Amino acid sequence: MIDEKELAIHPIVPDSVQHNARIVSNIRALTASLFGVAAGTLGLESLPGFIFYFFGTAIVSFFIYSLKADSKAESYFFSPMGDLWAGDMFGGLMSFVLTWTLFYGLCKA
């Protein structure tokens, strides 16, 4: 449980929190459009496309966790569940749909 006393004993650096959140959101924005390209090329429709996106997002989260955060998520993210595993999951959804529809139209129609 994180309370005021815990924060007073172990203070956190807001600059680093911001920097980490920006990097995660950059990675998510880039990879979301990549997943859109793949989903459109494969010709996925409706539910399988969204499942593909969430599956890919989970893989990217695992990459960040193992390659960037040295498998210690709590020392790089204030709340690992919200900032790393589910962070910006729906922010990339719109760019995913954009490139998904574009490449579906290019390769199918």
Partner 1 sequence: MALVANAINVLGILFLSHAVYSAWEHSLLPSSSLPPSPSSILPQALDPKINLPLDIVLETLASVFFLCLGVVLSSPSLKPIQWSAWAGRLERCKEARKYTEFGVGGGNPYENLEERPGFLDIRGANRDFAEWIRHSKTT
List of residues contacting partner 1 (CB under 8 A) = 10-13, 15-17, 19-20, 23, 26-27, 30-31, 34-35, 37-38, 41-48, 51, 56, 59-60, 63-64, 67-69, 75-78, 103, 106-108
DSSP for 33-84 reads HHHHHHHHHHT--HHHHHHHHHHHHHHHHHHIIIIISTT-GGGT-SSHIIII
Q: Using the minimum distance from each CB to partner 1, give the nearer residue, 1 or 13.
A: 13
Shortest distance in whole angstroms from residue 67 CB to partner 1: 6
